[in-house]
Amino acid sequence: MKQENTFELVEMMFKISRLMKQEMSYTNNLMHLSMLQIQTLIYIHKHENTSMSGIAEYFRIELPSTTSLITKLCDQKLVERFDDPQDRRLVRITLSGEGKTLLERAQRERKIKIEKILSYLSAREKSELLTILHTLNTKLQK
């Protein structure tokens, strides 16, 4: 790939990422949650009783940033913290009932928005994009 194509590809990936982030932003009925907060709720839902360090590692953020993130979600009563019964040094995080309800609404809204974004692509283009994304994901995870 020519160098100018590389720069164009990087710039286009950034533009698409920014536009999708803008399109995917949640409405005020979701309490002005950031994408990181929504993604954290999704992670906690998938990894029930996760730890602060598990969240920090997954999002590649420092532990103090994770503590701040979880504190904000606790203040909104979306997650709950509790001591690990086997190791009292560990703090476990779980979704509250309110958090589960809000996450379900957010995921429904996200699905609608993603379907709108993907409606600009043909079935063949969606298939090609999925293949490319799977390839990149596999290579980057190694």
Q: Residue 36 is encoded by which pair of tokens? A: 């990181």
Does the residue 93 lie in any domain? yes
Question: Percent of the chain beyond pLDDT 70?
Answer: 92
Does the residue 3 lie in any domain? no
Does the residue 22 lie in any domain? no
Does the residue 35 lie in any domain? yes
Looking at the structure of the chain, the number of domains it has is 1
Nearest alpha-carbon partner for 46 in 93, 109, 116: 93
| 31-75: pLDDT as tens digits | 578 888 989 999 999 998 999 999 999 999 999 999 999 999 999
> What's the confidence (pLDDT) of residue 88?
82
Contact 60, 52 (CB under 8 A): no
Distances in whole angstroms, Cα of residue 36 to Cα of each of 4, 24, 80, 142: 32, 12, 17, 24
| 5-23: pLDDT as tens digits | 889 989 998 998 888 877 7
Does the residue 70 lie in any domain? yes
Indicate whether 135 pLDDT > 80.
yes
Q: How far apart are CA 139 and CA 116, in angstroms?
A: 28
Residues 6+ apart with CB under 8 A from 134: none
Angle at which helices 3-24 and 97-118 pack, to 10 degrees? 130
Does the residue 2 lie in any domain? no
Domain limits for position 134: 28-141
Q: How far apart are CA 59 and CA 51, in angstroms?
A: 13
Do the bridges between strand 91-95 and strand 79-83 make them parallel or antiparallel, or are there none, so unpaired? antiparallel
- Tell me how crowded residue 117 is: count the other CB atoms within 10 A of its CB: 14
Does the residue 1 lie in any domain? no
The angle subtended at Cα 79 by Cα 46 and Cα 55, nearest 5°, is 50
